[in-house]
A and B are shown apart, each in its own frame.
Chain A
Amino acid sequence: MSVRRGPVPRPPRIARFLVSRLCPARHVDFILGDLDDDWAESVESRGRLVARVRYWRLAVGSILAGRRARVAAGGRSGVTFEGLVQELSHGARRLRRQPLASMVSVLTLACAIGASAVTWSLVSEMFLHPLDVRQPERLVRLGFRDDARGPRIRYGHTYPAYRSLRDAGLMPVAATGAIGARTPLLIEGAGVEERPRSVLFASHDLLEVLGLQPSQGRFFTESEDRRGAALVAVLSDRLWRGEFDGDPGVVGQVIRLRDRPVAIVGVAPEGFDGLEVGRSPDLFMPLHAIDQIQRYEGLYGDRPPLHWVDPVARLPDGVTLGQMQERLNGLQLDPARERTYVLVDAETAAIRESSRADVRQFSGLLGATVLLLLAIGSLTVGMLLVMRTEARSGELAMCLALGASRSRLVAGVAVEGFVLAAASALLAVPVARLLFVGLRAFELPGGIRVELLDLSIDSRLLAGIAAAAVASVAVMAGLASLFGVRRQLGDVLRSRAGATPRLTRRRSRAALVTGQVAVTLVLVTGAGLFARSVTRALSLNPGIDTSRLISVSLDLEQFGYDPPRAATFVDELRARLAAHPAIASLGVQYAGRGGNVVVDGTELDPPQSVTYAAIDLHYLDTVGLRVPAGRSFTADDRAGAPPVAIVTEALARHIAGEDSPLGHRIVEAGAPLAPAEIVGVVTALRGVGSQAPLKMYRPVAQQTLPTPPPGSGVTVGRRLTVRATDDAGAAIGAVTSTVRAMDPTVRLDPMSSMQASVLDRMAPQRFGMTVMGALGAIALFLSVLGTYVLAESMATQRQREIGIRAALGAGGGRLRALLLKDTIRLVGVGLLVGFFLSWLGADTIRAFLFQVEPFDPLVTGGVAVTILVLALAVSLRPAFAATRLDLARVLRAN
């Protein structure tokens, strides 16, 4: 996310940091002051990008000038710039001699660095800097605790409560409001693509309180933020750029929202995405315009109480959150309710408390995955360096013997590592870009859509990349000094004379391969567990083809229909759709509120509330629900006939245990309805994350659900369920066009097949599956490659021993088994370490698994066996090659 707050963006931080550390102390303040002045002017006159390049040039020039002065003055210069350049080009040249290995290392490390930078950016956007407003730390939101509903802080207040807070005059208070998580609306006209948009209703002073300015036009005036005023809207920057091509002439244009003209008066500032992470609105409308868009009684009054307003306030200078909280405690905001009001800083509140733990845990999982990838990258580079130093071992040992310092040689190896890291860091930028694009499709826990996060390549990200590169250089230099430059001249000479080299040499490489195997196991197992969760979720309803099932709310009352007109509309829609070739069958369900039920005069005590629903005769068949006991509804179950009900299997067990519930009489607790006889038991449609649903159905013909008063805004919960003949898309098209042909003012919510919604629900799992799967595949490839290289080098090193064994009469099979045993031991240790790592991470991943345990024997065992088999398969070739050699020649050569 780039910096956009305030008049001047912050200058490049890394360059600033380098200047502060590397320029002479007596000049630092002046240099930084000059640089910052220059930056402010350049941004204004030349634009951000040019200003940034200029800043860096000036900063590097300043650092080099200081260094030159020091060298000229005869000061200790340590490593000279020229010397460093020379070392680097030597390193690059040495690496060019092993192009394939170097390329694999660079690619792996680039993926690792790119992924860590992206993860960092994601975490930073969600937790560290979620809000792009002036002084976000001074911004607070009003939450409340309802002791009856648990300790969690909740948001959403009645309009009168917001007014009381505002009128108390403690601090500047603005408000946003919405009904439901999002208010999807269709925008028509002005050449804008017609699709659902989310609207955030906001008081006219919202931007003022946030310390922001619209980028085009203006925000609402107080007179526009009144009930009944002509509708106006401010576009989000995203919508403006995406749909209006960033045209400044958009101000003054008129769009249509639900058939009402809305004048565009401005564009919100770039980077401002509302007050909740990952739920950025498409457009802003005045708080008091809501009753023209959504008809609900109780929007502004207290009956029925509607908690739709979310006040946001700015602490006055010098007042702490604690002090303001104390003042707030003395206020009675909502006399009707027992609530403890709590001020929460806006950055914390940006992620809802209900999903914060999930998001945190998921970020942790992502972080751990990326760390593993970084480990794989470092191990691969380490492997390359060890191979390089091994190849140069003679040369290095000679240098040592001739008096070269060990640190000088280690520095040489470290420079090679640095060249690799630098190349990887460069490559990491396009990798990160690709990852950004790939990530956009996903949704994080808590419904946070990645595409709505303001992710981009910026200075923070580059800092992340640089930090990751430096970290890997440190790891590699460590590896190099550990393994590379400690060999004694005696060892080299011994091995040249044909003696078996000491075991430590192989052990260092073996340790690297073991590490790779362990990381591979963890990643591939993780991907497997996620994949299994997704398949489990998709097969929740055996026997029901969810890919052809579509369900959509048919909330006609919202469009001004009274009950008789709505009934006529539904009948006609049913007749028209039944004749449509894309639709196999359809049913209508009225799902009311849930509650308790009374069976044979006794109130039941179910663990969860029972959902009441009224259905037509076709509903059960359309969905594909079976009736294992009793019967389905028939045409005889009409008004006036004895009331009947059908219950789900789970509810049946609560009513009658293992016995049949048929014949018992059931009624919704507290409803003025006659008890109905249970005539059937039905299987239930299961959703992700819900228990077996407790549900009772009544026939809609018996008019059992209370009809809400017209205009009350209370939904009757009418849903149309459609089974497509073949393609869900065609059926969705048929429903949309038929409804539009019957009444163009009725707009349906976006539709998707039930399978698609399950996949949506499982977005975090699919995300985990994709990320871990991709990384796991890379890890698997690298560890198999590593095993092969090691097996080959072990076979070569043991040629002499094998030759002697063969001469003494050992058979080929026995010798091959001897070599393969090494591989098995190596991979076995790697797998054990991997199991241990998986055990450590089990709790983190468990939260995201669906009907799968972190130690699923099928997944964990399958992955372990696959790794072992692949490792053995690639080790076969060197083993066969070693045992096929001509014995006499081997012995002679040795």
Chain B
Amino acid sequence: MDRYLGQFEQLLLFALLDSEGEVDGASIRERIESRTGRLVSPGAVYTAMDRLEGRGFVSSRIRTAPPEEGGRERKYYWLEREGAQALEHCYRALSRMAEGLERRLAEAAASESGGSGGR
């Protein structure tokens, strides 16, 4: 099975991982925004979640939220084992690539030219 995940998909799966049990679209957006500062549109969440659901990484169900949360119908998602494995795979790949490079990355990002040499 293809276990490659885009950056946004990884963010979504991490947001699911961050919560115990099911979580609705609005909470996912809130978590991503508060942790990364990135403004995420509801439409982007639902379409990406559709994709992830199609690949068996997440599951969802629709239920009515309790009155203190507005009482309307919401879609709740939870992480499947396959999803967790794919996320772990991607994260490990990224970590391995980054291993020992953190300092150089920081230096490169801080240097004035912004590059490490001529093109």
Given contacts A30-B75, A34-B29, A38-B26, contact A23 B43 (CB under 8 A): yes
- What is the 8 Å Cβ interface bit string for chain B, positions 67-87, against chain A (1 contact, 0 not)? 000101111000000000000
Q: A33 and B72: CB pair below 8 A?
A: yes
Complex-state Cα separation, A71 to B81, whole angstroms:
29
Measured CB to CB, the closest approach of chain A to B9, in angstroms, equals 13
A–B pairs, 23, beta carbons within 8 Å: A19-B43, A24-B46, A27-B42, A27-B43, A30-B25, A30-B42, A30-B74, A30-B75, A31-B46, A33-B26, A33-B70, A33-B72, A33-B73, A35-B42, A37-B26, A57-B39, A58-B41, A59-B41, A61-B39, A62-B44, A65-B43, A65-B44, A66-B47
> Using Cβ atoms and an 8 Å threshold, which residues of chain A touch B29?
34, 38
**B51 proximity list for chain A (CB < 8 A):** 69
Q: A163–B65 Cα gap in the complex (Å)?
A: 48
Q: Is B50 an interface residue, CB under 8 A from the partner?
A: yes
User: Contact: B39 with A54, CB < 8 Å?
Assistant: yes
Would you call B73 and A58 a contact (CB within 8 A)?
A: no
In the bound complex, CA of A261 to CA of B89 (Å): 78
Q: Shortest CB–CB separation between residue A274 and chain B, in angstroms? A: 35
Determine whether A29 belongs to the interface, using a CB cutoff of 8 Å to chain B: yes
Among A34, A54, A59, the one with the most B-chain Cβ atoms within 10 Å of its Cβ is A34
Q: For A68, what are the chain B residues with a Cβ–Cβ distance below 8 Å? A: 47
Cβ contact within 8 Å between B42 and A34? yes
A64→B26 CA distance, assembly (Å): 18
Minimal beta-carbon separation of B54 from chain A (angstroms): 10
Interface size on A, residues (CB 8 A): 25
Q: Of residues 473 to 495 in A, which have CB atoms within 8 Å of B's CB atoms?
A: none
Establish whether residues B47 and A24, one from each chain, have CB atoms under 8 Å apart when the complex forms: yes
List chain A residues, Cβ under 8 A from B40. 61
Contact of A469 with B by CB under 8 A? no
Complex Cα spacing A146 to B72, Å: 52
Q: What total of A-B pairs shows CB separation below 8 Å?
A: 64
Min CB distance A53 to B, Å, is 11
Say yes or no: A31 contacts B74, CB within 8 Å.
Answer: no
Beyond A61-B41, A61-B43, A66-B47, 4 additional contacts (C-beta under 8 Å) are A19-B43, A33-B70, A33-B73, A38-B26
**Which residue of chain B lies nearest to A31 when distances are taken between CB atoms in the complex?**
B42
Q: A34-B25, A34-B29, A37-B26 are known contacts. Are A66 and B43 too (CB-CB below 8 A)?
A: yes
Of chain B, the residue at the smallest CB distance from A66 is B43
| Chain A residues with CB below 8 A from B47, complex form | 24, 27, 65-66, 68-69
B: contact size bracket: 10 to 19
Tell whether A235 is near chain B: CB-to-CB under 8 Å: no
Instruction: Give the docked Cα–Cα distance between A328 and B47 (Å).
Output: 57
Considering the complex of A and B, which 4 residue pairs feature the smallest CB-CB distances, nearest first?
Answer: A62-B43, A61-B41, A65-B44, A34-B42
Q: Measured between alpha carbons, how far is A37 from B70 in the docked complex, in Å?
A: 8
Within 8 A of B (CB), among A23-45: 23-24, 27, 29-31, 33-35, 37-38
Residues of B within 8 A of A62 (CB): 41-44
Known A38-B26, A65-B41; judge A30-B70 contact (CB<8 A).
no
**A63 part of interface (Cβ distance < 8 Å):** yes
- Min CB distance B77 to A, Å, is 11
Q: Fill in one digit per residue for B39-64: 1 if any A CB lies within 8 Å of its CB, else 0.
A: 11111101110110000000000000
Check B39–A27 contact: CB distance below 8 A: no
Contact A29 B43, beta carbon cutoff 8 Å: no
* Per-position 1/0 for B13-40, Cβ under 8 A of A: 0000000000001100100000000011
CA distance A133 to B46 in the complex (A): 37
Which chain A residues numbered 690 to 712 have a C-beta less than 8 Å away from chain B? Answer: none
Q: Choose among A31, A33, A37, A54 the residue that contacts B43 (Cβ–Cβ < 8 A).
A: A31
Nearest Cβ in chain B — how far from A294, in angstroms? Answer: 51
Known: A33-B74, A34-B29, A37-B70. A27 touches B46 (CB 8 A): yes
Distance in Å: Cβ of A546 to nearest Cβ of chain B: 64
Nearest Cβ on chain A to B95's Cβ, whole angstroms: 28
- Which chain B residues lie closer than 8 Å to A58 at the CB level? 39, 41-42
CB distance from B36 to the nearest CB of A (A): 15
Give the shortest distance, in Å, between A172 (CB) and chain B (any CB).
28
B residues within 8 A CB of A30?
25, 42, 46, 73-75
Q: How far is the CB of B71 from chain A (nearest CB, A)?
A: 10
A57 to B42, CA, bound (A): 11
Most chain-A CB neighbours within 10 Å: which of B26, B40, B70? B26
